[in-house]
Structure 1
Amino acid sequence: MKNKSILISGLVALIASIGTAAPTLAQDGRLELAYAEVSAGTTSIPVGHMEFCQKRPYECQPMAAAAPAALNDNLWRQLQDVNNHYNTTITAVSDDELYGTEEFWTYPTSGYGDCEDFVLAKRAALIEGGWNPANLLISVVKQPNGEGHAVLMVRTDRGDLVLDNQEGLIKLWTDTPYAYIKRQSQAHAGQWVDILDGRDEIVTATATAGH
């Protein structure tokens, strides 16, 4: 989140992503991997998002049920444009450096923000562009180094796609290096659910069945 070289990497990703086709559904042929499974009940809301909702309650309301977005060429290009725009115009800086506090969720300020700020900005831009909010879910993950991170998980008919300020290319959630912890509920923007990240178990079971 603190790596200011994201601007350069984002520009490289922008060039690389032009003309890239949208991911196919369950690229490895296992449909159960295309969508992240979540818990039936709600879980704790991140403190930063709770404070964000207290200041902007109109952004944390119940949401109508929605089928995954049908990802045509126009919508795929829109995802790419929004992801690339914020990845190349916002510099990643920690909340401690910006606001003197460990966690403060808000929209990017004067060209700077941390991972949650990127996600909030991308989500707002896509909603303004006509996307259903129920398919745009802020998600908390753990990086391979153990540090927390936030990404935007987008529900589509190609599976759950991830918009990430540390990665210019939009990928299926299964193709990212993160352990998924929790995300916004599809039923309520101010509530969260646990993500049951069972990818290892599925892969193991599939491999065993093949012997």
Structure 2
Amino acid sequence: MSVFSRRALKSLGLAAGLLCLAASGVIARPAAATYAPVGPETSVPFGWVDFCQRYASECREGDGGAREIEWTDAARRRIEKINAWVNRNIDPVSDRDHWGVVDEWDYPTDGKGDCEDYALLKRRMLIEDGFPSGALLLTVVKDEHGDGHSILTVRTDRGDYVLDNLTGGVKPWSSAPYRFVKRQSQASPNVWVSIGAPTSAPMYVSK
């Protein structure tokens, strides 16, 4: 059994009382499928490169299988459940306070983490639940202040949805209050592609 399985994580006795609780859990559906406008290959975040040096098995190329999730009610409920569980059971803490460094991507096995740690755990749990890795894409955005932030994009046949530790529920990407910068390619987790008009990438992600 993976050390990052839900059963193992629950056994940690993680604290609740989170700043960013999932709200109503209602998932809004767009009138029509909308997808983030991905562009050419771009730089890979250092945090991901460093993460892959420690978790090589987590960064393997995909098996060439499905790269979209069929947006059924059952799939929606499973994704919503995992998103809410992670948001509820991980305490938010900055990398500087947690690890003593500016930027560190890791699994929140001690029940603490920042934005990319939430996204990594959601990705791992969704893969363990049977969803294709090619549809679960780590994504870097900028918030309204221009600060870096990480979320998980879920690619579906009804459009792109985002899982965010700062807001409740699962929302269409176009409803997220962010400037999208780049994300993993569907073809390979180690290839990143730009999103929308070119913009400088944040130095690090921190929320």
TM-score bracket for the superposition, by shorter chain length: 0.7 to 0.9
Partner of 2:162: 162
Alpha-carbon distance, 1:65 to partner: 5.2
Larger radius of gyration: 1
What SS does the aligned partner of 1:180 have? strand
TM-aligned CA distance change 1:154 to 1:197, over 3 Å: farther
Distance 1:98 1:109 in 2: 12
Distance 1:58 1:10 in 2: 30
What SS does the aligned partner of 1:168 have? coil
1:126-173: CA deviations, max 9, x gaps?
A: 000000000000000000011100000000112100000001111000
Partner of 1:89: 89
Alpha-carbon distance, 1:66 to partner: 2.7
Partner of 2:73: 73
Runs of 5+ consecutive residues of structure 1 not aligned to the other structure: 199-211
TM-aligned CA distance change 1:72 to 1:96, over 3 Å: same
What SS does the aligned partner of 2:86 have? helix
2:148 is aligned with 1:137: no
Distance 2:109 2:131 in 1: 24
Distance 2:43 2:173 in 1: 22
Distance 1:176 1:153 in 2: 11
Is contact 2:107-2:121 (8 Å) kept? yes
Partner of 1:59: 58
1:21-53: CA deviations, max 9, x gaps?
A: x443x42x5x5xx0012123x211111111001
1:69-88: CA deviations, max 9, x gaps?
A: 11111110111111100101
Aligned identity (percent) is: 41
Partner of 2:184: 184
Alpha-carbon distance, 1:109 to partner: 3.3
TM-aligned CA distance change 1:125 to 1:73, over 3 Å: same
Is contact 2:138-2:183 (8 Å) kept? yes
In the TM superposition, structure 1's runs of 4+ consecutive aligned residues that sit over 6 Å from their partners are none
TM-aligned CA distance change 1:77 to 1:51, over 3 Å: same
Q: How many residues align?
A: 182
Partner of 1:109: 109
What SS does the aligned partner of 1:139 have? strand
Is contact 1:153-1:160 (8 Å) kept? yes
Is contact 2:68-2:132 (8 Å) kept? no
Distance 2:193 2:59 in 1: 14
What SS does the aligned partner of 1:162 have? strand
Runs of 5+ consecutive residues of structure 2 not aligned to the other structure: 1-15, 199-207
RMSD between aligned alpha carbons?
1.9
**AA matched with 2:58:** E
1:84-125: CA deviations, max 9, x gaps?
A: 001011011000000000011000032110000000000000
**AA matched with 1:58:** S
What SS does the aligned partner of 2:71 have? coil
* Structure whose residues are more often helix by fraction: 1
2:10 is aligned with 1:10: no
Is contact 1:23-1:158 (8 Å) kept? no
Distance 2:146 2:56 in 1: 31
Partner of 2:149: 149
